[in-house]
Each structure stands twice: as structure tokens, then as C-alpha cells.
Amino acid sequence: MLTIQTAELAAPSRTMAATWVAADRSGREIALYFGQAHTNEPHRLIALLVVHMAATKVAEFIGSENNANFFSSLTNRTKRGIMPEIDDTRTATFPSDRQVFERASVPIMACNDDEGELWLYRVSPWELHRNASTGNLDSAVQPVVGIIMRIECLIGLVNRLRELVQGELASEHTEKTHE
């Protein structure tokens, strides 16, 4: 298992302010959709970023004990009246151009009272292999993109990701209880 010191990772140089957020699953892949919606038509997107991640990586992130306090704080915000928001890809009109597709395997989230951030990184298997003997794995973790969104969207995204990886989380919990 690879341990990454996330506090030492550089911030992604590319960022996007998303006003429209969705997530879907197809087989072993989860697609995260981040869009900028048209002002007068909230389901018509003028820009779209789609990031594909392995469902197991999303489950590891959502189920990680290291992130338990963060996810608990998000849950407490909904108890104080913040309503989670998540959009639906079936009702959206995607732009014919201005679409970007990426892959990521390491997510990092942070938030304050009204805004959340999701930073996405990719781990290069080639760089891992090449640098395994030296122990210098910094070059293996490459920033992909940072997404800024309203806190309601971040909470909605986390809730949706929990739904999408429910099976992986249940089997991981079963494995831990049998150890």
C-alpha cells in the first residue's frame, strides 16, 4: 500500500469554479462531473469537466478513518440547516465544446462555512515503478485539477459518492470486523 503525505502535495495549477456538480457510476468507474451552468438556464452547461476515478479509490477515500472528522463536520452542517445539492446528468444539456476529461486517483477535500474545495491528483504507475528503489515518490503524484464549489454542492457530492460506493464500503467494514 502506498502512503501519500497529502499535506506536502502542491496545489493543482488548474482550478475551476463549479456551479453544477454530479456523479455517476459505470461498472468499476465513477465519473465526477463539474460544470459551469448558464445563468438563466441552470441545467444548460457552458463548460464541463469530467474526472474518472476507480470506485475502489473513491471508497478508500470515503471510508478512510483519517477523513472521519471531516465527513462528520459535513454531516453536522446539514443538521444546522445546510441542504446538500447534487445535480443529475440525465437532465443536463452538456456543451458541444468546452469539455475536458481527466483521470484521478487521490482526492483531497477542504471547506469553510460557505465554500468547499476538491483537489484531485493522479498517481503515475510508471513514476512509482521508476522511483521505488530510491523511495522518492513525490514525482509519482501529479496534480490534476482543483475544483471550488459552494458548500452545499460539496456535501451533496460526498453523499452521492457514499451511495455510489456503498457495496465497497460494506465489504471493507466486514473485512475490518473479521480481523
Question: Is 60 exceeded by the pLDDT of residue 97?
Answer: yes
Over residues 15-45, the pLDDT tens digits come to 999 999 999 999 999 999 999 998 888 889 9
Q: Does residue 104 lie within any of the structural domains? A: yes
Higher-scoring residue by pLDDT: 5, 83: 83
Q: Does residue 134 lie within any of the structural domains? A: yes
Q: Does residue 6 lie within any of the structural domains? A: no
Containing structural domain, residue 61:
13-167
Gap between the Cα atoms of 68 and 72, Å rounded: 6
Please enumerate in sequence order all residues whose Cβ is within 8 A of that of 155, keeping only pairs 6 or more positions apart, or say none: 74, 77, 78, 82, 84, 85, 116
Over residues 116-163, the pLDDT tens digits come to 999 999 987 877 777 777 766 667 788 999 999 999 999 999 999 999
